[in-house]
Amino acid sequence: MKQLVNFCLFSSQQQANLIPGVNLNSLGIFASGLPVLPPAAGPRGSGPPVAHGGYNPFLSHSSHLSGLYGVSPASAIPHQISAPEQEVVYLFIPTQAVGALIGKKGQHIKQLAHFAGASIKIAPAESPDVTERMVIITGTPEAQFKAQGRIFGKLKEENFVSAKEEVKLETHIKVPSTAAGRVIGKGGKTVNELQNLTSAEVIVPRDQTPDENDEVFVKISGHFFASQTAQRKIREIIQQVKQQEQKHQQGASAQVRAKG
């Protein structure tokens, strides 16, 4: 596994500077550098897209919802998913780690969803021999940080990587097709800067067909803080594009009214 700069060695203040909008001090960061669950209380630079058993989570996505395993806490109400503060992240974990993430009778994933305040669901395997499974996480930036951090930590605890290695996972996030070019930048400048800043591998697969919401996906691969930083920076770009589009639309509307 390719070794990456260990962001876990950064101080919380340095991490906070890199991950805007997320108060790390309030997220239960412990010595390991990752959020951990409280005690139980009862009930990849550049390259082609990596295939996950031939499954594209952005095609016919709704047809797979009925087979998802997981829980949605009270704070992750389904009709709020489209609200600006809610984000959806598709995290891929080794198939053999699914049992550890779910826990006995689903207790671990329930505790994790409650702890993070996120909806966490595991998509069904597309075939018996898939090596990775998709975890769909829905929640605020803080919820994403806690949920993803704990999943990375769980894989480390369960020895899915050697003691000297950092857990490196792939995540997919959707971006408006109008923002994809901005993520790449002229001549790939922006995506290269993202990779240099975060040590994450960021790929915007070319020739994507936008989905029904006119969105395409960006792949991010790296250790926890690298992935989180890349996700936050890409979300910032999306917000900038949306704000510019809104200003343009308002300006156009004002001109129409003036002519009328």
**Amino acid 173: pLDDT:** 97
Q: How far apart are CA 227 and CA 171, in angstroms?
A: 8
How high is the pLDDT of residue 74? 57
CA–CA–CA angle 125, 85, 154 (5° rounding): 45
Q: Which fold has domain 64-167?
A: TATA-Binding Protein (3.30.310)
* pLDDT string in tens for the chain (260-residue length): 433 333 333 334 444 454 545 555 544 433 344 555 555 444 433 333 333 333 344 443 434 444 677 777 755 545 444 444 799 999 999 999 999 999 999 999 999 999 999 999 999 998 989 999 999 999 999 999 999 999 999 999 999 888 888 999 999 999 999 999 999 999 999 999 999 999 999 999 988 999 999 999 999 999 999 999 999 999 999 999 989 988 877 777 767 677 76
Provide CB contacts within 8 A for 98, sequence distance 6+.
122, 133
CA 179 to CA 241: how far, in whole Å?
6
Side chain identity, residue 131: T
Strand order in the sheet with 119-122: 69-71, 119-122, 132-139, 87-94, 169-176, 215-222, 201-203
pLDDT of residue 207: 86
| Pairwise CA distance, residues 223 & 50, whole Å | 17
Q: Where are the domains of the chain?
A: 64-167, 169-260
> In CATH, which of 3.30.310.210, 3.40.47.10, 3.60.40.10, 3.40.47.40 is domain 169-260?
3.30.310.210
Grouping H, G, I as helix, E, B as strand and the rest as coil, residue 219 is strand
Per DSSP, 128 falls in state T
Give the predicted TM-score (pTM) of the model. Answer: 0.73
In this predicted structure, what is the pLDDT of residue 241? Answer: 92
